[in-house]
Amino acid sequence: MSTLEDRLERAQRVSVGEAAAQGAARFVKAAEKEKLVDVVFARVGSPFGELLIA
């Protein structure tokens, strides 16, 4: 028989990856709508130096 703590800890083993990815996609759309995407950026190295990409 599992304890209360065991039952609560089972939540850690359930995957939320897909739901979180869908939530992230909705967030990006909302950020675009609020014109906040200019700060969603990444800096990457390139043969020409560091580039800023959206």
Partner 1 sequence: MPRARSTSVRPPPFQAFLDGHREEVYRFLTGFVGPHDVDDAFQETFLSALRAYPSLRNETNLKSWVLTIAYRKAMDSHRGRGRRAVPVEDLPEQPSRGSHAEDHALWDLVQALPGKQRAAIVQRYAVGLPYKEIGAILDCTEEAARQNVREALKKLKEMMS
**Interacting residue ranges for partner 1, rule: CB under 8 A:** 4-5, 7-21, 23-24, 26-27, 30-31, 34, 36, 39-45
Of 12, 40, 46, the closest CA to residue 25 belongs to 40
Q: Which residue's CB is nearer to partner 1, number 14 or number 48? A: 14
State the nearest-atom distance from the C-beta of 36 to partner 1, in Å.
Answer: 5
Cβ(2)–Cβ(11) under 8 Å? no
Quick one: tokens of 29? 């759309």
State the nearest-atom distance from the C-beta of 30 to partner 1, in Å.
Answer: 5
Residue 52 carries which DSSP code? E
